Structure 1
Amino acid sequence: MTRPDYTVVWAPYYTAHKILKGLVDAYRNTDDARALDLAEGLCDWMYSRLRPLPAEVRQRMWGIFSSGEYGGLVETIVDLHSITGKAVHLELARLFDLDSLITACAENRDVLDGLHANQHIPIFTGLVRLFEATGEQRYWTAARNFWDMVVPPRMYSIGGTSTGEFWRARGVIAGTLSDTTAETCCAHNLLKLSRQLFLHEQSPKYFDYYERALYNQVLGSKQDRADAELPLMTYFIGLNPGAIRDYTPKQGTTCCEGTGMESATKYQDSVYFRAADDSQLYVNLYSPSVLKWNGVTVTQTTGFPVEQGTTLRITGRARFDLLLRVPAWAEDFTVAINGDQQRVSAVPGTYVTLSRSWRDGDTVRVRMPFRLRSERALDQPGVQTLMYGPIHLVAREARQTFLEFGLYGRAALSGDLAANLQPIAGNPLHYRLGGVELAPFYEGTEHAFHSYFRRVEPKVVFAGVDSGVANPARPDGSTLLDEVWLAAPFPAKRVFVDRVTAVARQWVAQGLMSVGDHDLVIRTARNAPIR
């Protein structure tokens, strides 16, 4: 008889994964045959238990919260298969297929609402490994589509996902903010999946996400204050107004403390990728590092993200394409080789390719100035967050209701909102906005903070010049100013004025604005000293 309390029998195959992973890693790093023997024995035991079960019983098992959670077991079984070559190990891996979920995702049907997030994310890291081992296309398609169902439809500004460990409806962000958002294990496993997908599809979107989650949630999941007894990693990260990060283990040590420590390896494991034939080297993260590869040493020196750029120095000689990721947020990305500015098409969200026979001492200098931008919650446009380049800025404030900020009145033609900020001397990436201190989320402190705020723009103001016109809004909360600035960056003031004119005319035509207010807004745009 099945007990309704899932804690009575809790995820036995999740535990099996931890044991098997340890054994496989021990064998890979020591060549100790005893570790391999134990790993194969454990898989034989699982196979003997699962193979006789009817398929419908297994499907029910893997769908149960949370007893059906098996973590990264499938990818580890496939790793073992890569060592042994035994067909039975691939057969065992397939016995964990949750067909209802795989089929839905392969068909691009979003069925994630109500699912336990970290029970299901590792299913897809396993599917990528199964695709690599079997060539079965549905595994790849399911994993690829699944990623797009989470990023960005269920992603918070720090790169995390889930609330109370579960996913809610697609696109509901502001409506799910609580003190139990963004379970740390979810970010850890989404980083793994992003890395896997990039190996097969070199889309910059995977590393735009990776950078966001790594430099915000993962870096901010560790408390800065050292402790000799406790790992001091977050389990949940509350993103509701006035949240305080809790680094104390819950009822002992949770999975998130363990993966939180393991996540430190992610600062180095995905900085560089190479083409299989060594003809290309991808630089996906801007991080101080040294790479020895293909007869050369690449030394990356940077203070990123405090420094808004990086330097790569080549030691040795080789011909290859150097591909530099242009982050989606980087509107002004420039490259110089040995001091000579390069004429490159640096479109945000793409790669710049430098094809060259590299010589000893060649130096590549990259500059990517940060801009302050706001990002809207998908379900409530007026609820927003602040991003400075890749860094999420939070307001340090104890009140537990949304703070209200207006920002458009000092926006630049580029869309940069940084003119609203007052830098705090001697404290990089710290600012004041409306009397409130802003700080990078990644600082692992116990200050009360606001990740999201309410955007309030009562008047149409350009470059500090007030038109005297109330900023009209649509029923969904989006405003005239929102629509104007959606088109930023503007290459010249003339283009900006044309945009204001077109939007104002449209709002008049839709009955959302009077002709008199239309004239005042356009006149203000023309006269404003905006640059």
Structure 2
Amino acid sequence: MQPLKGTNVLVRDGDIKRREAANRAYLMKLSSDNLLLNYRVEAGRFHERVVPPDAHGGWESPVCQLRGHFLGHWLSAAALHYEETGDRELKAKLDDIIDELAACQQDNGGQWIGPIPEKYLHWIAIGRSVWAPQYNLHKLLMGLVDAHRYAGSEQALTIADRFADWFVDWSGRYTREQFDDILDVETGGMLEAWADLLQLTGHDKYNTLLERYNRNRLFEPLLVGRDPLTNMHANTTIPEVLGCARAYEVTGEPRWMAIVEAYWRCAVTDRGALATGGQTAGEVWMPKQKMKARLGDKNQEHCTVYNMIRLAEFLFRHSGDPAYMQYIEYNLYNGIMAQAYYREYGLTGNTHNHPSTGLLTYFLPMKAGLRKDWSTETDSFFCCHGTMVQANAAWNQGLYYVKDDRVYVCQYFDSEMKAAIGDAQVRIRQTQDRMSGSLLDSSNTAGQHTINDMTAKHENMPDYRKHDFTVTVSEPHAFELRLRIPDWVQAEAQVYVNGELHGATASSEQFYAIRRTWQDGDRVSLLLPIGIRFIPLPDDASMGAFRYGPDVLAGICEAERILHVDSEDIASEIELENEREWGSWRYFFKTAEQDPAIQLRRIRDIGYEPYQIYFKVKRRG
């Protein structure tokens, strides 16, 4: 199955475009001098006596052992954005940075290009404590590979290939047992980098590196069905298994795929997930089906969300199972969108002293009464800064796929795709019909009020989402359109073709298929019944969270609240309020029978307020 991306998919969703624009502005705002500082220092190309006053802080500080890691993420994000948009200004900045990296590599002797000294890796071998140097260096290798793959930089590939020579020499000095000890210190995605470079260059040295970086101490327990993950650092192993996924694609060896599938079973299928889609607390995997005691201040690290989305996407491409896309949907709405590029969902009269925007939160706390802890632009630079710029660089990925004469629609955002299906060019434009009947967006446009039937038909918020797909072909052409049915639908989804009912289904286990000879202008409408569901914890059915469609709801609470209910239908305790503003439906919720009532918002609309996601529910009487 082939993903559609780059210029083949155009995103039109307003909020996604806002996030991409904010991400692009952030990439441009960070100066090249500051991004390159640690590389220049290491190469002897920085000649000042003091650290520049505007130098990046946090993990990018020149005295931090993980310094320089962010530049690799920056290169990757810039390349991804360029592939999608052709942004020449960003491409010029990327090329200038790569030119300077080439000069640093030359001054380092022709191989080493790290922002840290080589001795950090020698320290690992002798057991001296040092903060994850291979994790750090992988980021640069990843960024160089992506700069070549998505932005066409041959120089980036040359730098990476020469850097790999250093690792061939260094890793060859140790026995298998000694190097296994080295691999027990976080390596990040080194395995994935070697697989990428094997595909790009064909050089046999990368087969050697794949073998050396094969972490059997993790992989073998997975293959025999043991659980080596519980209470272990999650984002150490996810990149390693992403390396297995890439190695499978490059080499075709079945063992690599077997490791990936075993990992997913252990990490997701057998473990379960929070209502948001996450499975971690304090950066480690929670116990299988036991999450109540782990609702804390450090749930759902952003890096794990991003990397598990990548793993799910790989498994979808090789299986076609829509369950992986469902996993991605929950993590997009309640992870990627909830933890970065926040913009206040305004409420007139709600006076406060908080900023109206937020950049990034490392974790998404699940303990009642806590808040998102927003980072700064230049003084934080923890690991999630890197996955943030990658996750928001190209939102047009993961929406559409093609296999033979079948087009798969996997996520529902306003967008447009084009693809060659057989000997024909096909375009499909996806739009969400908000069913508001009005174009009013402020009091300034009150004069624009065309009378229509829609405003009367939907007096209140519709209980279904409607997505329309318009097909453009130059001449009649046969192909199959496949639509994913989310597992959050409240009843059967209905599919209409040119206004006539084609079918209905509530099954999320397979795509809904429409095979026909399509005419130019044919229109498909997908109606997805939406409502509120109570999602209990796997280890306590009386404690759970509420979801509205794919969105997890959070109550605004200074301290933990217990819900007292009369009905067996716990979800009926939550109702919409303040649902309309001018021509738009709005997403404010509240409890129906609590005293005082609890206001709820979508977790992606929560900024600086204290909140509660999981509620204990007790029966009255």
- One-letter code aligned to 1:273: Y
Amino acid at match of 1:125: L
Q: In structure 1, what is the equivalent of residue 302 of structure 2?
A: 184
Residue 25 of structure 1, CA deviation = 2.2
In structure 2, relative to structure 1, the CA distance for the partners of 1:315 and 1:3 (3 Å cut) is closer
- What per-residue deviation string (whole Å, max 9, x for no partner) do you get for residues 45-99 of structure 1? 1111112311112222222xxxx22222222221221111122213212321210
CA shift, 1:3, in A, is 8.8
Paired position in structure 1 for 2:361: 234
Q: Which residue in 2 is equivalent to 1:23?
A: 144
Instruction: Give the paired residue count.
Output: 446
Note the 1:492-503 alignment, pairs <5 A. none
Q: How does 1:230-269 map to 2 (within 5 A)?
A: 232-249=359-376, 252-265=380-393, 267-269=395-397
**1:130-157 Cα distance to aligned partner (Å, 9 max, x none):** 1122222222122112123222525222
**Counterpart pick for 2:550 among 378, 390, 396:** 390
Describe how 1:269-348 pairs up with structure 2 within 5 A.
Answer: 269-275=397-403, 277=404, 279-294=405-420, 295-302=425-432, 308-316=465-473, 317-330=476-489, 331-348=491-508
- Given that 1:298 and 1:315 are in contact with CA atoms closer than 8 Å, whether structure 2 keeps it comes out as yes
Partner of 2:267: 150
1:429 pairs with 2:550: no
- 2:192 alignment partner, one of 56, 59, 75: 75
Q: Could you tell me which residue of structure 1 aligns to residue 619 of structure 2? A: 457
CA gap 1:348/1:75 in 2 versus in 1, 3 angstroms: same
Shift of 1:444: 4.5
Is 1:163–2:281 an aligned residue pair? yes
CA contact (8 A) 1:327 1:350 kept: no
Residue 128 of structure 2 corresponds to residue 12 of structure 1: no
Match of 1:214 among 320, 325, 332: 332
CA distance in 1, matches of 2:125, 2:564: 47
| Alpha-carbon contact 2:358-2:607 (below 8 Å) kept | no
TM-score (norm 1): 0.78
1:196 matched to which residue of 2? Answer: 314
Query: Which has the higher relative contact order, 1 or 2, with Cα contacts under 8 A spaced 6 or more apart?
Result: 2
Q: CA deviation at 1:266?
A: 6.0
Quick check: 279-288 or 69-78, which moved more? 69-78
TM-score by length of 2: 0.67
> What SS does the corresponding residue of 1:252 show, helix, strand or coil?
coil
Distance 1:187 1:5, change over 3 A: farther
Residues 233 and 248 in structure 1, CA contact (< 8 A), matched pair in contact too: yes
Measured in 1, the distance between the counterparts of 2:225 and 2:392 equals 33
For 1:410 and 1:235, how far apart are their aligned partners in 2? 35
Q: Which moved more, 1:388-397 or 1:182-191?
A: 388-397
Contact 2:472 2:521 in 1 (8 A): yes
C-alpha spacing 1:105/1:408, structure 2 compared with 1 (3 Å): farther
Deviation at 1:425, TM superposition (A): 3.1
Alpha-carbon distance in 2 for matches of 1:407, 1:318:
56
CA RMSD for the aligned pairs? 2.7
Matches of 2:211 and 2:394 in 1, distance apart? 28
Distance in structure 2 (CA, Å) of the matches to 1:53 and 1:4: 9
Cα 1:319–1:94 change in 2 (3 A) is: farther
**C-alpha displacement of 1:349:** 3.1
* Equivalent-residue separation in structure 1 for 2:297 and 2:195 (angstroms): 37
**Which residue number in structure 2 is paired with residue 118 of structure 1?**
235
Per-residue CA shift, 1:435-465, capped at 9, x if unaligned?
Answer: 1111101114111110100021245xxxxxx
The change in CA–CA distance for 1:6 and 1:236 in structure 2 (over 3 A counts) is: farther
User: Which range moved further: 378-387 or 247-256?
Assistant: 247-256
Structure 2 equivalent of residue 445 of structure 1: 607
Distance 1:418 1:47 in 2: 61
Per the alignment, residue 414 of structure 1 pairs with none
Q: Please tell me whether the aligned partners of residues 118 and 165 of structure 1 are also in contact (alpha carbons under 8 angstroms).
A: yes
Hey, what does 1:364 align to over in structure 2? 524
Distance in 2, matches of 1:137 and 1:207, equals 23
Match of 1:50 in 2: 171
One-letter amino acid of the structure 2 residue matched with residue 264 of structure 1: N
User: Does the 8 Å CA contact 2:469/2:525 hold for their aligned counterparts?
Assistant: yes
- 2-structure distance, mates of 1:11, 1:78: 21
| Contact 1:223 1:247 survives alignment (8 Å) | no
Give 5+ residue unaligned stretches, structure 2: 1-121, 345-353, 436-460
**Paired amino acid for 1:241:** A
Secondary structure (helix, strand or coil) at the match of 2:329 reads: helix
Q: Offset at 1:357?
A: 1.4
The 8 Å contact of residues 340 and 361 in structure 2, kept in 1 or not, is answered as yes
Letter in 2 for 1:143: V
Distance 2:549 2:360 in 1: 25
Q: Which moved more, 1:449-458 or 1:154-163?
A: 154-163
Displacement of 1:168 after TM fit? 3.2
SS at match of 1:375: strand
Q: Identity of aligned pairs, percent?
A: 26
Q: Deviations over 1:472-502 (max 9, x none)?
A: xxxxxxxxxxxxxxxxxxxxxxxxxxxxxxx
The amino acid that maps onto 1:281 is V
CA distance 1:444–1:94, shift in 2 (3 Å): farther
Contact 2:590-2:600 within 8 A present in 1 as well:
yes
SS of the residue aligned with 1:393? strand
Structure 1 portions without partners, runs of 5+: 412-416, 460-531
Deviations 1:197-222 (A, max 9, x none): 11111111101100000011110112
